[in-house]
Amino acid sequence: MSILLIAGSPSEHSRSAALLDAVAQRLHTQHLPVDRLHIRDLSPQALLLADFQHKTITRALAQVESARAVVVATPVYKAAYSGVLKVFLDLLPQSGLKGKAVLPLATGGSPHHMLALDYALRPVLQSLGARHILPGVYATDAQVPKDDEGRYRVGEEIASRLDDGVSALLHEGLRMPVSAAFAPVPFAQVRCSV
């Protein structure tokens, strides 16, 4: 069972990539196989011309097809997800996400773009046949600041929401069992008084 992380930012270093990195760290602690797809690394000409024979496009489409779950991260520009993500999603077949659980992530300059996850991205994911689209995680620029070394770091509030998102992906989307906090008690040993 692989989980594909799709980076929909045209920038190599971005806040949305920081969200994906944080999700990847959480998945690695669960010893789950994670694969990555950086749309910016695909051939721009092949993307724009919908060249399905180009090696980067065939490889990317195969990654999506073989994944059991997908995490999509995008910056929000003008109340919509990124253009590079749009071009890639347009290349997927109509049932390209069929049977897959999807966790959408987005970053934007202010909270005003938060609904782009629900009103712009979610309908497209649904039209591609995603089985279960989990509640997304949206972070503002202030919630993913740069550290002293100039790298984007996820703040505490977003880290907590990513924990919840990954947990939902594993337990709701992939239906992995929840680890018990204590050993199960057989019903015969349950005692109660009324």
Of 3.40.50.360, 3.90.1580.10, 3.40.50.880, 1.25.40.390, the CATH number of 3-189 is 3.40.50.360
Structure tokens at 82: 């990124």
Distance CA 29, CA 167 (A): 12
Neighbours of 48 (CB within 10 A): 9
Tens digit of pLDDT for each residue in 46-89? 999 999 999 999 999 999 999 999 999 999 988 899 999 999 99
Mean pLDDT of the region 121-137: 95
Predicted confidence band of residue 179 (pLDDT cuts 50, 70, 90): low
Q: What is the pTM of this model?
A: 0.88
Domain range list for the chain: 3-189
Tens digit of pLDDT for each residue in 24-58? 999 999 999 999 999 999 999 999 999 999 999 99
* Closest by CA position to 166, among listed 135, 123, 121: 135
Q: Residue 67: what pLDDT?
A: 96
